[in-house]
Structure 1
Amino acid sequence: MTTLKMHTPNLVDSNIERLAALFPNCVTEKPKTDEQGKVIRDMNGEVVLERGIDFELLKQELSHSVIDGSQERYRLDWVGKREAIVTANSPIAKTLRPCRDESVDFETTGNLFIEGDNLEALKLLQESYLGKVKMIYIDPPYNTGNDFIYNDDFAADTAEFFERSGQVDADGNRLVANTESNGRFHSDWLSMMYSRLKLARNLLSDDGVLFISCDDNEQANLIKICNEILGENNFLASVIWKKKYGIQNDAKYFSINHDYIIAFCKQKNLYQQNYLPRTNEQDARYKNLDNDPRGVWKSENFSVGRVTEKDRYEIITPSGRKVTPPEGRSWVYSKEKFDGLNADNRIWFGKNGDNVPSLKNFLSEVKSGRTASTIWEYSEVGHTDKAKKDLKSLFDNQSYFDYPKPIELIAQIARLATNQDSIIIDFFAGSSTTAHAVMQLNAEDGGNRQFIMVQIDEPTDPKSEAFKAGYPTIAEISKERIRRAGAKIKTDNADKDGINELDTGFRVLKIDTTNMADIYYRPEDYSQDLLATLENNIKPDRSDEDLLFQFMLDTGVPLSLPIERTELSSKSGGHTIYQVGGNSLIASLDYIDANMVNDIAALNPLKFITSERAIATDSDKTNIKERFKQLSPHTDVRFI
């Protein structure tokens, strides 16, 4: 029997465990200190120790020479980098609360929309989606001087977390303007990105890939921090997207017509990139000038820019003309190989048989797709003007966003990086172009890709058209865009088979404080007399479904699994149990007795969770545990 933690994992502890497995000699015990660096002592005055790493020994383990102290090294550093690492690793006492009223097809959809700070969202997703995400695309603030940067000052270290039970101050979890007058202009942006990318990497599958849109302001720095987090050997490309079709004549120096899309994979030896569909223009280059039964073909140069004497031989054309390779070049193949190709009618000498030989390349024999290049034209993947027009077409001629990304751009990325059953995350969702593109791509190829959008509830300007139209936050616009886009995609593809089964729904989950009362985390703060008044360790305003989603987070169950409510009879009448993903998780939260235990155990759940309030006595708790051991011994039984 295990007690649920009801908070996100402490990544410091898990990192120490990993290092201990590799370098057990580097594990040590050291005095525990508070925020001011003062050694903590227990009630008897003894120094409190905690497990840690001897970093000097670890440095030596990772060095080919003797470490003699601080040395210069190649790395990107900035003020706040260490704090960013602590921020990423520190646990939080938060949860995700379902919001059925704002969701679409809540019971059946595999898609998620998480409303709240994306750093907290990434922490909350660590167990349920660890290593399960095939593709991450983000379009973070470009740090132009007018952007808003996430202020992560609320992040507590491990000791502070357990003291405060995840409470944050009034200044926490807010957006702040990052103007160029800020002395930490680059540092704040880098810290914001570093902590989020560290957590995002954990979610990627081993064959997963990360794409990040950016401009020149932070492109160089972004590549450097990705090199550090994902490894420079996993760098794929810095794609140039031509986002505008016109020149800005009022630009002071250059008209900036492009953005970058930085691409990194998690493990390059496992990442398999798809081909892009061939274009009509490419296929139009293939003709059948000699009515070859193998179909259309395109001629290719039969000489190559190298000098290999054995491949510089004389060829006699059908007209009788003798030809040799141009100066400084050789034929592509040897004389023996040429003779075989010529006998197979794979050499073209022109209609009159008098031309220099060329090689016939048949369309039926080339690969079905094309390799992506590092320059993407707006004619293929859209431009900013089209993106705004597409958004306006959904919102009664209002775009509400200045620089949305084109649907075609994100769809192109997904074509390259995903298969039909992939999970795709965008934790800077904005207008949710990524969700729109995923649904559109699924409609085109019959895929079942799932998306997870994360968007902070950033307020819209009270003077803006969005606010006047009834959208008080960016998140509200984002959710409405998915609703409207899903409906439009089904209408536009009404004649397609299976279009009604296309998943255009999403579960709305909102980040909130933990469902557990403070007593759950720090019971030592309560006296025996006070404890008598605190029979329930769950906050009074939380529903069973709130608790269910926190269980799913805590036990690593995907949040998109179908949830079924079932009534079981018991001594006191009918009671509801929740079945998540069939038998992946079963929860009984309001009541449980021996008969119900027998019925639930017969379902062979992988995990079973109930609460203290659902049982009458401690002996019942023991009996439940023992009964599961007899009837379903593999079931992981937990109580809160």
Structure 2
Amino acid sequence: MSRLTDLIASVKSKDPSLGADLDREFKALSSRLPFGLNFERHRPEAVELPLRSIRRGDKVRILPPRGSNDSADQRLWHVISIDKLKKTVLIKLISTHEIDQRTVHLDDLVVVAEFRDKIFPGLVSTGSSRRNENKPSHAVINGENYHVLKALTFTHRGKVDAIYIDPPYNTGARDWKYNNDYVESDDLYRHSKWLAFMERRLLIAKELLNPNDSVLIVSIDEKEYLRLGLLLEQVFPEAAIEMVTTVISAKGVARFGQFSRVEEYIYFVRLGRCEVALSEQNMLDDSRSASDKIGKNIDWLGLRRREPTARRGARPNQFYPIFIYIDSGYIHSIGDPIDDSVNRESVTPPNGTFAVWPLKPNGEEGLWGITPETAKRYLKNGFIRSRRHNPKEGKSSIHYLPSGTVEAVRNGSIEVIGHDPDGAIQAVYREKKGVIPKRVWNMPSHNAENGGSLILSRLIPERRFPFPKSLYAVEDALRFFVGDKPNAIILDFFSGSGTTAHAVMRLNRQDGGMRQCLSITNNEVAADEHKALRKRGLRPGDDEWERLGICDYITKPRIRAAICGKTPDGSPIKGDYKYVDGFSMSEGFDENAEFFTLTYEARDAVHHNLAFDRIAPLLWLRAGAVGSKIEHIPNEGWAVVDTYGILTDTDKASPFIESICEVKEIRIAYIVTDDDRRFQAIARRLPKTVEPVRLYEAYLTNFSFANGE
């Protein structure tokens, strides 16, 4: 391709018009041929919205008869008119080559949203669990995750510190749907569908992550890990990407004729300055533990560099003599470096000393690990020493403290408790000295059965969820990146049973943190239940069907149980949490959770302030999800709560601003006006720490573009 661009540039210099035409055609062609991971993107996703009431102008599908397990007619229709008395709908087929118009009963239609359609999302509260009004609330949102992610671009764009997801593994075992149909193992486009499905969501996730310091964590197994790795490189070309292999069941999954699978994979996509924190353990075995070092003596390292390339001349300033007292074996002084042309034997030691050089065991001349200037400074401060000297052979073991240990001595996390006769310090660890985690994890706490299924069965007995993650595995993965961020925002948009929110609550308990988790899941029922419910004449949207959906039956009850310490029937949860922080599960957590369902609003209703009740939770989430919500249009024309305020009558700006100024925790002032000049005038009067947001212009602008394709 570079050769083609060179040729086009050559043509441009001779014939600008022809060169421009060639360049235009080349760009059009190259845009159709993506390089790297290639897959089909031509089929837009669509989602059925059974809870959404049908409106004129909607896009709908005709449902199969009740009691049938047939798939819905995949053709799309436009709603022409609705007869509310007869509960019938006149619809017209959306097709370029067919003309069909018919009347259908209202109950036999379902609204459909394609991902290239514009949406205007809202939220409806479906309950809460509260134990500490001073902390932000975790949020659980029931909805199609692509559309909920779009909603979060209004509330959390660039604010998320960590995303943890455990997406469908695409095993072919009916573990996920594409366009409302299960993707089977014999589907020729199975991998393309999965990649398109993931790419659309990852692109929005990228908008939500803090570009300066955040991480995306993705769990996966062998079915798609190679394709996922390439996809992550394409979506996040600027990121540092690493993959960890983690043992989830040492006993393995027996597969005759194959190796027994014991592992899964975790991708870590680090943005900006995000780094992996030091760990309590190396994650592979018990050979090193940070806690084990507390109260123990510091480690001294050999001063001679050990790598094969450490030869005299490679670093001219690091070949110098260290003079050792013949009698005591202590360091007398540090000599100056010598030129490569100088024979070291020509250097004369001070009286009563001998010279020690950085010599390898075979006698080859090497290098010291620090410069002579640093060595002299270390000698003065007791950070370098000599032991086990042999004047006859001109040998002595020279030790020093690495720069990290020296810094720890200076900041107090290593305590100096005395000095040796030669002045070398005696010191012990007073704080944990973390270890660098390895890229193969073999932690007993990460066992999926004990840390996942068993814990879930205690929280919500008799309710089953396939393959929940180990609570402690998710907790450990997050700790590397948000352990030092007590106010971090964590997102999981494949939240399943709610393990990520549960793990965040454990992290908060360990250090008093205020971290907040946003969990997104739909209310799909399992494949087997889907078939059984269909046979009974039930459909998505029916109360009995929705009660058995993953969000209402698993996710919300699990998070409620974790917080209050009681099962859904009110019994204290049996068992204890283990690892890092062990305590009775019946104690629960001093946390809050709010539960929502995504809604789809009409643009005009939003613009004319007629959808405020559904937009209100988004305003609360954007302001930090702390304390009270303003749930209805204030009669006084304005209202101020814990972290935000809203002004609906600009003539009441003065008392609104006075109230804003009295509350130090206010983050956002929402101002409802179509007049930009008036908005700017009010915004200038607000404290500098308060973000002014114009409603509904900011909301409508955020969503006034095609969603995806």
After TM superposition, the score normalised by the length of structure 2 is 0.59
User: Match for 2:260: what amino acid?
Assistant: S
Corresponding position of 1:481: 558
Structure-2 change in CA distance of 1:547 and 1:58 (3 Å): farther
Equivalent of residue 548 in structure 1, options 607, 610, 616: 616
Structure-2 change in CA distance of 1:303 and 1:110 (3 Å): same
Structure-2 change in CA distance of 1:400 and 1:301 (3 Å): farther
Q: Is 2:146–2:201's contact at 8 Å kept on the other side of the alignment?
A: yes
Corresponding position of 1:393: 458
* SS at 1:127 equivalent: helix
Quote the offset at 1:372 in angstroms. 2.5
Equivalent of residue 214 in structure 1, options 187, 209, 220: 220
Quote the offset at 1:77 in angstroms. 1.6
Corresponding position of 1:420: 486
Corresponding position of 1:264: 269
Aligned partners of 1:179 and 1:126: how far apart in 2?
32
Aligned partners of 1:189 and 1:82: how far apart in 2?
12
Corresponding position of 1:505: 592
Quote the offset at 1:204 in angstroms. 0.2
How many equivalent pairs are there? 507
Q: Is 1:245–1:378's contact at 8 Å kept on the other side of the alignment?
A: no
Q: Deviations over 1:320-343 (max 9, x none)?
A: 9x9952237846448968899799
Corresponding position of 2:105: none
Corresponding position of 1:80: 41
Quote the offset at 1:401 in angstroms. 2.3
User: Match for 1:545: what amino acid?
Assistant: D
Quote the offset at 1:91 in angstroms. 2.5
The answer to whether residue 172 in structure 2 is matched with residue 145 in structure 1 is yes
User: Match for 1:437: what amino acid?
Assistant: A
Quote the offset at 1:213 in angstroms. 0.3
Aligned partners of 1:77 and 1:136: how far apart in 2?
25
Quote the offset at 1:104 in angstroms. 3.6
* SS at 2:437 equivalent: coil
Structure-2 change in CA distance of 1:630 and 1:464 (3 Å): closer
Quote the offset at 1:250 in angstroms. 4.5
Structure-2 change in CA distance of 1:297 and 1:632 (3 Å): closer
Look at both structures and tell me which one has the larger radius of gyration over its CA atoms.
2
Corresponding position of 1:128: 155
Structure-2 change in CA distance of 1:147 and 1:315 (3 Å): farther
Quote the offset at 1:439 in angstroms. 0.5
Corresponding position of 1:373: 438
Quote the offset at 1:504 in angstroms. 1.7
Q: Is 1:303–1:329's contact at 8 Å kept on the other side of the alignment?
A: no
Corresponding position of 2:397: 357
Quote the offset at 1:222 in angstroms. 0.8
Aligned-pair Cα RMSD in Å: 5.3
Quote the offset at 1:73 in angstroms. 6.0
| 432-441 vs 385-394, which moves further | 385-394
After TM superposition, the score normalised by the length of structure 1 is 0.64
Quote the offset at 1:346 in angstroms. 4.7
Aligned partners of 1:426 and 1:609: how far apart in 2?
31
Corresponding position of 2:665: none
Q: Deviations over 1:402-430 (max 9, x none)?
A: 31111221112221112111100000001
Corresponding position of 1:190: 195
Please show how residues 425-440 of structure 1 align to structure 2 within 5 Å: 425-440=491-506
User: Match for 1:478: what amino acid?
Assistant: T
Structure-2 change in CA distance of 1:607 and 1:235 (3 Å): same
Aligned partners of 2:616 and 2:371: how far apart in 1?
73
Please show how residues 626-637 of structure 1 align to structure 2 within 5 Å: none
The answer to whether residue 603 in structure 2 is matched with residue 600 in structure 1 is no
Structure-2 change in CA distance of 1:455 and 1:463 (3 Å): closer
Quote the offset at 1:81 in angstroms. 5.6
Quote the offset at 1:625 in angstroms. 9.0
Quote the offset at 1:369 in angstroms. 1.9
Aligned partners of 2:209 and 2:290: how far apart in 1?
39
Structure-2 change in CA distance of 1:120 and 1:248 (3 Å): closer
* SS at 1:403 equivalent: coil
Corresponding position of 1:177: 182
Aligned partners of 1:373 and 1:482: how far apart in 2?
31
Aligned partners of 2:390 and 2:128: how far apart in 1?
71
Unaligned runs of 5+ in 2: 1-18, 47-112, 314-318, 330-353, 409-432, 533-542, 567-571, 662-667, 687-691, 698-709
Please show how residues 231-630 of structure 1 align to structure 2 within 5 Å: 231=237, 233-267=238-272, 270-277=273-280, 281-282=287-288, 295-297=297-299, 302=304, 304-306=306-308, 308-309=311-312, 325-327=360-362, 330=366, 332-333=368-369, 344=382, 346=384, 357=397, 359=399, 365=406, 368-379=433-444, 381-396=446-461, 398=462, 400-418=464-482, 419-460=485-526, 461-462=528-529, 472-476=548-552, 477-488=554-565, 503-514=590-601, 516=602, 520=605, 538=610, 545-549=613-617, 557-558=622-623, 560-563=625-628, 578-579=639-640, 581-582=642-643, 584-588=644-648, 599-600=655-656, 602-603=658-659, 607-608=669-670
Aligned partners of 1:278 and 1:129: how far apart in 2?
33
Identity in percent? 19
Quote the offset at 1:217 in angstroms. 1.0
User: Match for 1:585: what amino acid?
Assistant: G
* SS at 2:245 equivalent: strand
User: Match for 2:656: what amino acid?
Assistant: I
Corresponding position of 2:139: 112
Q: Is 1:234–1:264's contact at 8 Å kept on the other side of the alignment?
A: yes
User: Match for 2:592: what amino acid?
Assistant: G
Quote the offset at 1:347 in angstroms. 5.0
Aligned partners of 1:191 and 1:222: how far apart in 2?
11
Structure-2 change in CA distance of 1:577 and 1:246 (3 Å): same
User: Match for 1:130: what amino acid?
Assistant: R
Corresponding position of 1:97: 124
Unaligned runs of 5+ in 1: 1-55, 154-173, 523-535, 612-620
